Amino acid sequence: MNYKEYKFLNKTIFLYFPNDWIVSQNSINSIKVKFPFGPYPTLDCYLDCFDNPKLNSDNKIRDYILDGVEKGKEVIKIDNNIFTVSYEFKSESENLIAWKVLNFLKPRSFREIRLSLAWPENDDANKIVSEIIKSIPEILDRIKFSD
């Protein structure tokens, strides 16, 4: 699969999406990704850069990234300065899967990416979304942050 590079927040975050996915920027902090088969569902992405001197240890960073996530989820430390977590929510009528990626730039700067995908609970939608979800680990692996 071929990927296209997208640069955000003054070239501090680099995301790579498959060439046939349609990426549009809604605002400086928000992008929407549509898929070649139609306008729904969409992968919504929130991007942010911030300073926080109180996030000064791995445990505090883990607590931050787990805020709003059900207990028992594991934060994965990809390397010395990138943390990630994914989580799912299912109801009778809707599904949601989300991913958070946090890049720590010492001594106190952070870049955050949140991706979310929501879809109705039915067999056809589940089948379509399962193919999208299979692509997400590769997208997460390709994320780059400027130094």
Taking residues 79-84, what's their average pLDDT? 88
Task: Write out the E strands in 19-93.
Answer: 22-27, 30-35, 38-51, 76-79, 82-90
Q: What's the rounded Cα separation, in Å, for the pair 76 and 85?
A: 6
pTM of the model: 0.92
Cα–Cα distance between 24 and 32 in angstroms, integer? 5
98-108 pLDDT, tens per residue?
A: 999 999 988 88
